[in-house]
Structure 1
Amino acid sequence: MSRVVVVGGGAAGMMAAIIAGKRGKEVILIEKNEKLGKKLFITGKGRCNITTDKDIEEIIKNITTNANFMYSALYTFSNYDLMKMIEDKGVKLKVERGGRVFPESDKSSDIIKCFEKYLNENNVKIMLNTKVTDIIDFKGKIWGVEIEGGEKIKCDSIILATGGKSYPLTGSTGDGYYFAKKLGHSIIDIRPSLVPLIAEEEWVKELMGLSLKNVEISVKHKNKIVYKDFGEMLFTHFGVSGPIILSASRKIIDILPQKVEVLIDLKPALDYNELDRRILRDFEMFKNKQFKNSLNELLPSKIIPVVIKLSGIDAEKQVNSITKDERKNIVKLLKEFKITITGTRPIEEAIITAGGVNVKEIDPSTMESKIVKGLYIVGELLDVDALTGGFNLQIAFSTGYCAGLNC
């Protein structure tokens, strides 16, 4: 019986181990943490956005790097296959905004328990609290692994599923890149993706904790809009975060350190003229009040002092003496609320890692290395990444499945 060692017990590693086990292989799953699926546990704020309900062509559109590499894997094991696999173990799923799929219970632990059941059913041997220190190859073919303490485990194939460099507390510390490079693979520049952004403006600190729903953002570079999104965002002590900002960050990391601006449309449901009429109506209602007390119907209270400051209009000014030009400036400010991005938070705070093992060196239908026979590389280690919404986990599961099927 041939032996497969899977290094890393995250989404891709567990899937690979299950499928290899199902095929009757002797499978050893090695995880350096004290439990499996540690990163899976915290995804979707602990609710686990397991996948998306979008069709494969839509998934491909949401993959920002090397999307074509994923065609074969996604058609071999689709998001619908994944959902069926999970529901077959009694875990009910639900679909939320943007096609995001979650367990009905909102507990990521239910997903991990489901995969643990599959691992046990398929006789996968699990070694927790065990660190792989070396991958041994001989004449361009896999020989085995060495674990901490010097013990060597011989095997016929290795599936490398150690994750990227984001969230190092979950065990993603970049070991896989080291192993892949040592075995002759080239690594495309590693950088944070789906990461909070740092703003130049000092006033963002005043907005810390403010969450905005149903806003539209536009990313502007060299006077051109290069990205747009609609949804929810959050102000932090250093800048901005939240779903639409994280997705925008994937575009922004490729532009920095050049100047990038994020324009927030605080009222996307109204065009400039409609918003002007709306403000005029509010001003009519509050005509005897001061400007600082006239925006409560229009904006969250936390943002009002900042809007007043940026408008350049005296906060004490009577509403009935605000000029048409001043009002037009307020409209522009609310439709193009500008933040200048100077950088990203560190890779440790990123949801995923951009860059990784060059996919030209990997067979897209099997995930086997073209350099070392018997070596399979899956999940976040690959230079493939996507926007938020369950797409990155689907990449992990589909690539893990292909490796398990072909090892």
Structure 2
Amino acid sequence: MAKILIIGGGAAGMAAAVFLGEKNHQVHLFEKNEKLGKKLFITGKGRCNITNTCDDETFFKSVVTNAKFLYSAFYGYSNQDVVSFFENLGLAVKEERGGRIFPVSDHSSDVIRILEKRMKELDVKVHLKSEAEALLTEEGENGERKIKGVRLRNGAEILGEKVIVATGGFSYQATGSTGDGYTFAKEAGHTVTQLRPALVPIATKEEYVTQMQGLALKNIRFTVKDGKKVLYDDFGELLFTHFGISGPLVLTASSYIGKKLEKKELQGYIDLKAALTEEQLDARLLREFEAGINRQFKNVITGMFPAKLYPVILELGGIAPDKKVNEITRKERQDFIHLVKHFPLTLVELRPFREAIITQGGVKVKEINPKTMESKLVKGLYFIGEVLDLDAVTGGFNLQIAWSTAKAAAEFIEE
């Protein structure tokens, strides 16, 4: 039985505590907040998207950064294992669109409660309002460094044979994710890759975007290009805000384009009628024109677009609003169709960390054993969850990373 210290009481930290408790280790979990799982509480809009039941190929395609590093951890503890784990603990779960798994209650607090209950049953010692300040290391045999324990902010030094860093990333800092784990990693000699917000809204340049604040578009295609190169392209939902754009498509896009967007503005396009080809849209427009042959353009297209989008389309459309449809040229019509299928947005920058769901970047995975999550630099030191340079798109994948890496660390700590 080993004495194991876990820094961080989020998803990865709590899971690791349970897994280690079930192996009869003496586990101490240190959490700086007054309660556990503060970020977990707000994930999935407070519903907690626990995992995703997709096949293995889809899972790895959904991991944006360092997917190969996760092979061993995921195959050792898959999405199906996670579902079984929570069901065996008494949490009823349900599957929704896209394989997303949620508690039947739709309350993330139930996920936290069931983990807390299990930790209590396993006699895990939970220390709330206990902020770790530094890792304690010493020189071991053959001159290798090994972990000795943790020093808390109050000056107390807690000794342990193993230390697991599960401090999360840099997003949602109000929940305590203030980058402490990166400091610990650097002090232990690890490299921390560049950090940037991910799964985050994007600021745009055009003034007309603010006119559409609050407008949600469904069944549209969103494409981001760097010159002629397509960086992102997908179908789904998008939301206009006072600063730019958000919504599922945009959040996912942010994870793929963030690095490029730091260096230059990028061009985004919305296909407002993604279900129609340009030829089909032209045919529909001609039918509208024929039905109102003596009417003004502005009155004929009013039903084709949402109220907040309509005046912007008129403004950008290149056709005088008062022009009668029987006077509109083929060239004007084709230009208007192109606008509808390629509605332009200039993407300026990602919104700040406080609006990001996760952090992109973290402890360099080449310095971590992918099978055990143990540091290759300091014996007995482990890193799990978001503190690592691992991130995925929305849909339960990031929490799966937390569960799988937690299990990997726990599984290979000897009794």
Q: What TM bracket, shorter-length normalisation?
A: over 0.9
How far is the alpha carbon of 1:348 from its aligned partner? Answer: 2.1
Q: Which amino acid aligns with 1:44?
A: G
Q: Which amino acid aligns with 1:369?
A: S
How many angstroms apart in 2 are the aligned matches of 1:366 and 1:24? Answer: 18
User: Secondary structure of the equivalent of 1:297?
Assistant: helix
User: Secondary structure of the equivalent of 1:237?
Assistant: coil
In structure 2, which of residues 320, 331, 336 is the aligned counterpart of residue 325 of structure 1?
A: 331
- Structural RMSD (CA): 1.3
CA deviations on 1:368-388 (whole Å, 9 max, x unpaired) are 001011100011111111111
How many angstroms apart in 1 are the aligned matches of 2:225 and 2:397? Answer: 25
How many angstroms apart in 2 are the aligned matches of 1:107 and 1:391? Answer: 18
Please say if residues 41 and 48 of structure 1, whose CA atoms lie closer than 8 Å, have aligned partners that are also in contact. yes
1:49 aligns with 2:46: no
How far is the alpha carbon of 1:133 from its aligned partner? Answer: 1.1
How far is the alpha carbon of 1:228 from its aligned partner? Answer: 1.1
Task: Give the match for residue 347 of structure 1.
Answer: 353
Task: Give the match for residue 197 of structure 2.
Answer: 192
How far is the alpha carbon of 1:23 from its aligned partner? Answer: 0.5
Which range moves more in the overlay, 99-108 or 241-250? 99-108
Which range moves more in the overlay, 34-43 or 157-166? 34-43
Alignment of 1:221-236 (within 5 A): 221-236=226-241
Q: Which amino acid aligns with 2:183?
A: Y
Q: How many residues align?
A: 407
Please say if residues 93 and 104 of structure 1, whose CA atoms lie closer than 8 Å, have aligned partners that are also in contact. yes
Q: Which amino acid aligns with 1:285?
A: A
How far is the alpha carbon of 1:229 from its aligned partner? Answer: 1.0
In structure 1, which of residues 198, 204, 210 is the aligned counterpart of residue 215 of structure 2?
A: 210
Please say if residues 218 and 229 of structure 1, whose CA atoms lie closer than 8 Å, have aligned partners that are also in contact. yes
Please say if residues 197 and 358 of structure 2, whose CA atoms lie closer than 8 Å, have aligned partners that are also in contact. yes
Task: Give the match for residue 302 of structure 1.
Answer: 308
Q: Which amino acid aligns with 1:348?
A: R
Task: Give the match for residue 37 of structure 1.
Answer: 37
How many angstroms apart in 2 are the aligned matches of 1:215 and 1:141? Answer: 53
In structure 2, which of residues 344, 354, 363 is the aligned counterpart of residue 357 of structure 1?
A: 363
Q: Which amino acid aligns with 1:13?
A: G
Please say if residues 318 and 335 of structure 2, whose CA atoms lie closer than 8 Å, have aligned partners that are also in contact. no
How many angstroms apart in 1 are the aligned matches of 2:302 and 2:39? Answer: 41
Unpaired segments of 5 or more residues in structure 1?
Answer: none
Task: Give the match for residue 179 of structure 1.
Answer: 184
How many angstroms apart in 1 are the aligned matches of 2:320 and 2:97? Answer: 41
Alignment of 1:367-386 (within 5 A): 367-386=373-392
How many angstroms apart in 1 are the aligned matches of 2:176 and 2:411? Answer: 25
Please say if residues 270 and 344 of structure 2, whose CA atoms lie closer than 8 Å, have aligned partners that are also in contact. yes
User: Secondary structure of the equivalent of 2:151?
Assistant: strand
Task: Give the match for residue 18 of structure 2.
Answer: 18
Task: Give the match for residue 62 of structure 2.
Answer: 62
How many angstroms apart in 2 are the aligned matches of 1:114 and 1:294? Answer: 57
Q: Which amino acid aligns with 1:113?
A: R
**TM-score normalised by structure 1 residue count:** 0.97
Q: Which amino acid aligns with 1:173?
A: T
Identity of aligned residues (%): 52
In structure 2, which of residues 160, 178, 181 is the aligned counterpart of residue 155 of structure 1?
A: 160
How far is the alpha carbon of 1:309 from its aligned partner? Answer: 0.7
How many angstroms apart in 2 are the aligned matches of 1:286 and 1:404? Answer: 70
In structure 2, which of residues 257, 272, 280 is the aligned counterpart of residue 274 of structure 1?
A: 280
How many angstroms apart in 1 are the aligned matches of 2:294 and 2:83? Answer: 59
Please say if residues 265 and 349 of structure 2, whose CA atoms lie closer than 8 Å, have aligned partners that are also in contact. no
Please say if residues 15 and 404 of structure 1, whose CA atoms lie closer than 8 Å, have aligned partners that are also in contact. no
Please say if residues 63 and 384 of structure 1, whose CA atoms lie closer than 8 Å, have aligned partners that are also in contact. yes
How many angstroms apart in 2 are the aligned matches of 1:116 and 1:87? Answer: 15
Please say if residues 374 and 382 of structure 2, whose CA atoms lie closer than 8 Å, have aligned partners that are also in contact. yes
Q: Which amino acid aligns with 1:385?
A: D
Task: Give the match for residue 399 of structure 2.
Answer: 393
Alignment of 1:222-261 (within 5 A): 222-256=227-261, 257-261=263-267
How many angstroms apart in 2 are the aligned matches of 1:293 and 1:92? Answer: 52
CA deviations on 1:207-264 (whole Å, 9 max, x unpaired) are 1111111111111112122221111111111111111111111121121222311111
Deviation >4 Å, runs of 4+: none
How far is the alpha carbon of 1:289 from its aligned partner? Answer: 3.4
How far is the alpha carbon of 1:60 from its aligned partner? Answer: 0.8
